[in-house]
Amino acid sequence: MGKLSGLRHLFMTLFLHNFASFMVIPAITDVTMAALCPGRDECSLAIYISGFQQAIIGLGSFVMMPLVGNLSDKYGRKALLTVPITLTIFPLAILAYSRTRSFFYAYYILKILTAMFCEGSVHCLSLAYVADNVPEGRRASAFGILSGIGSCAFVCGTLSTRFLSTASTFQVSTAMAMLSAVYMRVFLPDSIINDNLSTPIISEGKSDDVANQNEEPGKKMQVFKTMLSMEDMLALLKSSNLADVGLHASLLYYLKARFHFNKDQFADLMVITGVAGTISQLLLMPILAPALGEERLLSVGLFFSSAHMIFYSIAWSFWIRSIVSKQIGPCEQLCSCPKERHFISPVSVLCASGLPR
C-alpha cells in the first residue's frame, strides 16, 4: 500500500474537483429551463442548445485529448492538470453570481470553450499520473481506486445539492473548484515519468520519434508527431458508446418535462447510481483485479454494461408496463390522478408510453 498512499494528494485533488463539477449537474437543468423558458417544464430550445453544446465539446475533446497527453509527457502531469482544474472555475463562477438569461448565455459560451480542453482531461491526466507512480502489476487496482474516488465525489456532490438552494449550489461548487486548484498546486508533487516502462505507452516506432525530439532541441517542436492519426481517431470514435452519452444528455430534460422533476429528485436518482458505482469501483475492483486479471475483469464489466442496455431497452415494452400497472393502485399511477401530478410513483413511466388511462 506504500505506492498507493503516495497518491493521496492526487486522490484528494480529484475528489475536490469532481465534487465541484458533479454537484451542479442536478441543478443545471432547472437553471437552463428558467433562463430559456421560464415557468415551463418543456422547452425544445433547451434540448437543442444542450445537444449542440455536447456535440461541440465532444468534438473539441476528441481533438484536444491526444495533444494534452503529449504535452503532459513533455511538461509534466502537474503543469497540465493545473490548466483544466483552473479553467473549470470560471463557468461555475458566472452562475454563482447570477442565473439570468444573459449570464446563462455567457456561461454557455464559456463552458463550451473551456470544456473542450477540460472535459475528461483531468481524469486522463490522473490516470497517467498513477501509471507514472505505480508498478504495472498494481495499476488495475490503483485505477479502480481512482475511479472509486470519482464515484464517491459524485455521490457526495449530488447529495449535498439535495440540501442546498440553486444559488448556494453554484457558490459552493465554485469555492470547491478553487480549493481543488489551490490544494493541487500546494500539495501535489509532480510525477517522475519513468523512461524504462516495462509496457511502453507508445509503440517502438513512435518512441524513436520522441527520442529524435530530444536530440534536435533547436528544431521546431515535434509534439504533434506522436499524436494519433486521423484514421486512429475515426476508429476510436466508431467504437465509442455514443448512444449511452446521448441517453444521459437527454434524460434529465425528459424527466423534467414528463414527471416535473426538480434538482432534488435528480439528485436522489444520481445518488442511487453513484453509490452502486462507488461500491463496485472502490471496494470490488481492487479485490477482483488481482484475482481475475485485467482482461477478465474488463470482460465482466462489458458484459454487465451490455446487460444494462438490454434491460433498459425492454423496460418500455408494453408487457413490462402491463405487469407493473397491475401491481399499483389507480391513484398511485400518475396519469390516472391529475391532482397527484407531482407524486412520483413507480409506474409514472407508463404515462410516457401512452398507456390507456
CA dist 172 and 176 (Å) reads 6
In a domain, 332, yes or no: no
Cell of 158: 449530488
pLDDT tens over the chain, length 357 residues: 556 667 899 999 999 999 999 999 999 999 999 999 898 888 888 888 988 888 888 888 888 888 888 899 888 899 999 999 999 999 999 999 999 999 999 999 999 999 998 888 999 999 999 988 888 878 878 888 888 898 899 999 999 999 999 999 999 999 999 999 999 999 999 876 555 444 444 444 444 444 444 444 444 445 555 555 666 656 555 555 555 555 666 778 878 887 788 888 888 888 887 887 788 777 777 788 778 877 888 888 888 888 877 877 776 666 766 666 666 666 655 544 444 444 444 334 434 433 333
Instruction: Return the residue matching grid coordinates 509527457.
Output: 73
Residues 6+ apart with CB under 8 A from 345: 328, 332, 333, 334
CA dist 129 and 215 (Å) reads 25
In a domain, 71, yes or no: yes
The pLDDT value given to residue 243: 54
The pLDDT value given to residue 353: 38
In a domain, 320, yes or no: no
CA dist 318 and 274 (Å) reads 29
CA dist 249 and 134 (Å) reads 35
State the burial class of residue 310 (Cβ atoms within 10 Å of its Cβ: 0-12, 13-18, 19+). exposed
In a domain, 331, yes or no: no
Cell of 147: 475511479
Q: Count of domains in the chain?
A: 1
In a domain, 230, yes or no: no
The pLDDT value given to residue 54: 86
Residues 6+ apart with CB under 8 A from 131: 139, 201
The pLDDT value given to residue 295: 82
The pLDDT value given to residue 59: 84
* Helix (DSSP H) and strand (DSSP E) numbers for the chain: 18, 0
Output the domain CATH number for residue 22.
1.20.1250.20
CA dist 210 and 208 (Å) reads 5
In a domain, 74, yes or no: yes
CB 88 within 8 A of CB 118: yes
User: What sign for the dihedral angle of Cα 79, 81, 84, 85?
Assistant: negative
| Domain encompassing residue 159 | 1-191+239-292
In a domain, 345, yes or no: no
The pLDDT value given to residue 305: 80
The pLDDT value given to residue 134: 87
pLDDT digits (tens, 9 = 90+) for 200-218: 444 444 444 444 444 444 4
Look at the chain and count its residues.
357
Residues 6+ apart with CB under 8 A from 351: 258, 333, 334, 335
